[in-house]
């Protein structure tokens, strides 16, 4: 949308560091909120995670590699589970946390999610297949998607998923047909477009109507969908309404407006049809810190604020005999993101004179936009550190770039790294657990990196590295 074809930064006249990046006192210091909780430097300065030295990880598994701290992932999952359970207990008997598998999913991660007692949000038959392979309990799975195929619906109903979140009128008839054929009753929610643009407030909250997801509240499409589901009473059970307003959101204002509108429709449907809707889905989207510019709310505060919103909105409806529905949320990024960093090896270092005030080191690593497309796709900022040693050199304004054939192939747009960074050093980029491996590509025929899980001083593969043979195997010509 904004990027120049030659790359996001082309012809912008960009100069020095951004405001969020102060000149560091100690270039070896870690900004700990961005990292897995077990991150540390050994006395010689090597980065260590869950007691495992990154130099050993690079030696054993190669680079680039996604390094995922299992306990960190599990702790964040548990934090959502427990910190939402408490405040929602009084409001509606508790809350269900669906980990959004689109952030990152593999069978081992699905098992961790199941172990920790969370539910799982999948958005394709592929993600559902991973859940099935992990033996994830069907009743704790939600299937999303704006264009679910008949095969995906059949896969979900055969496996017995707990909910299908309906995204169009077409889909309702499609689900009814499959449910009739399989002789089952499909549990469904209706995804409502509430007209809220994330990060904003009600008076400018109209833009979000113009996108592909959900059924509009404003035009009556959502109410019509609910009615249509209710008409299929023999093949469908309407659990309730669902909304998801966006991703990487830092304040609860948008959720508040969304919840108000969703709850208004919820009550209208109950009154009009004389039914009780047992569930209410508020979606995911809780932001994380990628650099010092972000300050996310901890799960405890999110849980308290959202529970207060739901309580207030239902109280505002006046006398109700129906029970308050059980609330669910779907965090992906906030559970997976900070658990993981990407480990790269430096290949070349090139000082580039930007203007008479700024010289920047372009540090090329052995991955790039194929393992993290977010900087190119969203102009997302990341940070990084020299991971294989401590350095006494001065901080040098740097840009970490990949090995792909595009000038927009940027891993970290701005960071201070020691001026003596050289080929063979390891660089680690935190916050890559969500939407990096899952959005990765094989651009330039680059095999995708492995995911290495670390715990209690041990490292093990949970997703192996792709090989050139894997790539060639698809080429049947």
How far apart are alpha carbons 396 and 419 in whole angstroms?
A: 5
Which one of 24-32, 98-106, 173-181, 307-315 is the stretch in contact with ligand LLP (CB under 6 A)? 98-106
Nearer to ligand LLP, 167 or 366 (CB): 167
Which one of 195-203, 267-275, 319-327, 328-336 is the stretch in contact with ligand LLP (CB under 6 A)? 328-336
Q: How far is the CB of 186 from ligand LLP (least distance, A)?
A: 18
H or E segment and range at residue 412 = strand 410-418
What lies within 8 Å, CB to CB, of 350 at 6+ separation is 361, 362, 364
Nearer to ligand LLP, 325 or 331 (CB): 331
Distances (CA, A) of 239 to 121, 187, 317, 331, 433: 16, 6, 20, 20, 32
Pairing of strands 340-353, 359-365: antiparallel
Query: Which of 70, 330, 381, 409 lies at the binding interface for ligand LLP (CB under 6 A)?
Result: 330
Nearer to ligand LLP, 144 or 208 (CB): 144
DSSP state of 327: E
Which one of 69-77, 109-117, 242-250, 453-461 is the stretch in contact with ligand LLP (CB under 6 A)? 242-250
Residue 374 near ligand LLP by CB under 6 A: yes
Residue nearest to ligand LLP (CB): 332
Q: Which two tokens stand for residue 389?
A: 């040693």
Interactions with ligand LLP, residue window 131-190 (CB under 6 A)? 144
Nearer to ligand LLP, 76 or 455 (CB): 76
Which one of 46-54, 284-292, 406-414, 441-449 is the stretch in contact with ligand LLP (CB under 6 A)? 284-292
Assess whether 405 carries a catalytic annotation. Answer: yes
Residue 341 near ligand LLP by CB under 6 A: no
In 3D space, the residue among 138, 125, 126, 137 whose CA is nearest the CA of residue 184 turns out to be 138
Which one of 44-52, 172-180, 266-274, 434-442 is the stretch in contact with ligand LLP (CB under 6 A)? 434-442
Q: How far is the CB of 396 from ligand LLP (least distance, A)?
A: 29
Distance of CA 340 to the CA centre of its chain: 12
Q: How far is the CB of 245 from ligand LLP (least distance, A)?
A: 10
Query: Which of 331, 367, 368, 431 lies at the binding interface for ligand LLP (CB under 6 A)?
Result: 331
The string of DSSP codes covering 281-320 is E----B---SSTT--PPPHHHHHHHHHHHHHHHHHTT-S-
Q: Are 375 and 12 in contact (CB under 8 A)?
A: no
Query: Which of 74, 208, 244, 279 lies at the binding interface for ligand LLP (CB under 6 A)?
Result: 244
Nearer to ligand LLP, 418 or 430 (CB): 430
Q: Are 323 and 280 in contact (CB under 8 A)?
A: no
Catalytic site residue from 92, 106, 405, 436? 405
String of contacts with ligand LLP for each residue 194-233, x by CB under 6 A: ----------------------------------------
Q: Are 240 and 277 in contact (CB under 8 A)?
A: yes
Q: Any idea which residue has 């095969």 for tokens?
A: 151
Interactions with ligand LLP, residue window 53-82 (CB under 6 A)? none
Counting residues that bind ligand LLP (by CB under 6 A) gives 22
Which one of 69-77, 126-134, 243-251, 300-308 is the stretch in contact with ligand LLP (CB under 6 A)? 243-251
DSSP reduced 3-state for 218: coil
Helices (H), 31-121: 54-61, 70-92, 107-115
Query: Which of 49, 92, 103, 176 lies at the binding interface for ligand LLP (CB under 6 A)?
Result: 103
DSSP reduced 3-state for 51: coil
Burial class (CB in 10 A: 0-12, 13-18, 19+), 430: buried
Residue 277 near ligand LLP by CB under 6 A: no
In 123-277, which ranges are E strands? Answer: 141-143, 163-166, 186-193, 215-216, 236-242
What lies within 8 Å, CB to CB, of 184 at 6+ separation is 157, 160, 235
Q: Which residues are catalytic?
A: 405
User: Where on the chain is the footprint of ligand LLP (CB under 6 A)?
Assistant: 100, 102-103, 121, 144, 244, 247-248, 283-286, 330-334, 374, 378, 434-435, 439
């Amino acid at each position: 949308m904004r990027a120049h074809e030659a790359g996001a930064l082309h012809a912008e006249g960009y100069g020095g560091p951004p405001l969020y990046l102060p000149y560091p006192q100690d270039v070896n210091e870690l900004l700990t909120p961005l990292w897995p909780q077990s991150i540390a430097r050994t006395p010689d300065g090597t980065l260590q995670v869950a007691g495992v030295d990154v130099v050993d990880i690079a030696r054993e598994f190669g680079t680039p590699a996604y390094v995922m701290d299992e306990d960190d992932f599990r702790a964040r999952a548990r934090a959502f589970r427990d910190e939402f359970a408490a405040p929602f207990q009084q409001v509606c008997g508790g809350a269900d946390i669906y980990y959004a598998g689109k952030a990152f999913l593999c069978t081992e991660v699905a098992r961790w999610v199941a172990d920790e007692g969370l539910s799982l949000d999948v958005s394709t038959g592929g993600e559902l297949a991973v859940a099935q392979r992990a033996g994830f309990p069907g009743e704790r799975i939600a299937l999303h998607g704006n264009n679910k195929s008949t095969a995906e619906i059949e896969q979900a109903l055969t496996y017995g998923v707990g909910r299908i979140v309906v995204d169009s009128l077409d889909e309702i008839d499609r689900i009814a047909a499959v449910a009739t054929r399989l002789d089952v009753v499909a549990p469904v929610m209706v995804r409502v477009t509430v007209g809220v643009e994330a990060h904003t407030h009600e008076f400018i909250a109209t833009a979000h109507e113009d996108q592909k997801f959900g059924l509009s509240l404003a035009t009556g499409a959502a109410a019509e969908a609910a009615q249509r589901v209710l008409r299929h009473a023999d093949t469908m059970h309407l659990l309730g309404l669902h909304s998801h307003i966006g991703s990487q959101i830092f304040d609860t204002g948008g959720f508040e407006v969304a919840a108000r509108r969703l709850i208004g429709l919820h009550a209208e449907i109950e009154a009009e049809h004389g039914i009780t809707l047992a569930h209410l889905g508020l979606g995911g989207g809780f932001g994380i810190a990628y650099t010092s510019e972000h300050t996310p709310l901890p799960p405890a505060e999110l849980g308290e604020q959202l529970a207060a919103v739901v309580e207030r909105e239902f109280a505002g409806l006046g006398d109700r005999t129906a029970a308050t529905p059980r609330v669910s949320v779907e965090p992906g990024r906030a559970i997976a993101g900070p658990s993981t960093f990407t480990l790269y090896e430096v290949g070349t270092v090139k000082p580039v004179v930007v203007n008479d005030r700024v010289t920047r080191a372009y540090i090329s690593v052995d991955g790039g936009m194929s393992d993290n497309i977010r900087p190119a796709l969203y102009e997302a900022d990341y940070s990084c550190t020299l991971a294989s040693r401590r350095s006494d050199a001065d901080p040098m304004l740097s840009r970490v770039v990949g090995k792909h054939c595009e000038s927009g192939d940027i891993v970290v747009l701005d960071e201070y790294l020691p001026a003596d960074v050289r080929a063979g050093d390891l660089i680690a980029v935190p916050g890559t657990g969500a939407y990096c491996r899952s959005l990765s590509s094989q651009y330039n025929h680059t095999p995708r990196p492995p995911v290495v899980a670390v715990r209690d001083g041990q490292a093990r593969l949970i997703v192996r590295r792709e090989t050139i043979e894997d790539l060639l195997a698809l080429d049947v010509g």
